Structure 1
């Protein structure tokens, strides 16, 4: 699968340590994240590669209006185009913590899992089925 890059961001994952977050998400999704500096405030942003079959359309930011510091409780929901188990294996290897393992919602709704990234963000993954195994 060849990934194409898009500067369109579906959501922001707030981070304190940009390099740590970039490294974490690069390892978890097995993607090269492209760095950009945007806006008058020169905010550093990491752009995930976009591929219409991957479902990944989001960016990571070095600073934002959402407070962190271990108190972030609002989950971030991401579509998982791969087998969730593969992603969860990478989460732990990259320094994240699995909160809830892959769980079947129902045959029609698919699977979900939860993890916390090194920045303290709670990430929910959802997958209808095993699609890609990269």
Structure 2
């Protein structure tokens, strides 16, 4: 059919910036972190029309540990505001629960996507949710 490829839904990740002085809990050092934005978008003729499911992550340059940060802080950094990221702003995506009412979502240990707590297997990668 002719309409295939004209529109669609895709996921994308892009690096926003590099942030100095991130305290990595895994490698126990102060390192640079790469701020990554991940989102889903609808496109028409390869032109993005709208985005949703925006998430921001920091990746430790030393050990590649991935930490999530609040969407508000990620957006502020993306706009160029001078925002400090502290140890308390980072949440560990390896945990099943973020441990907060703000982030009270279940996270897949394999692909690190948020999933509904009722799932027994991750809908993104198929890993069993424990």
The TM tier, using the shorter chain, reads under 0.3
Task: Compare CA radii of gyration and give the structure with the larger one.
Answer: 2
Indicate the structure with greater helix content. 1
If asked which structure has higher relative contact order (CA below 8 Å, sep 6+), I would say 1
Indicate the structure with greater strand content. 2
How high is the TM-score relative to the length of structure 2?
A: 0.25
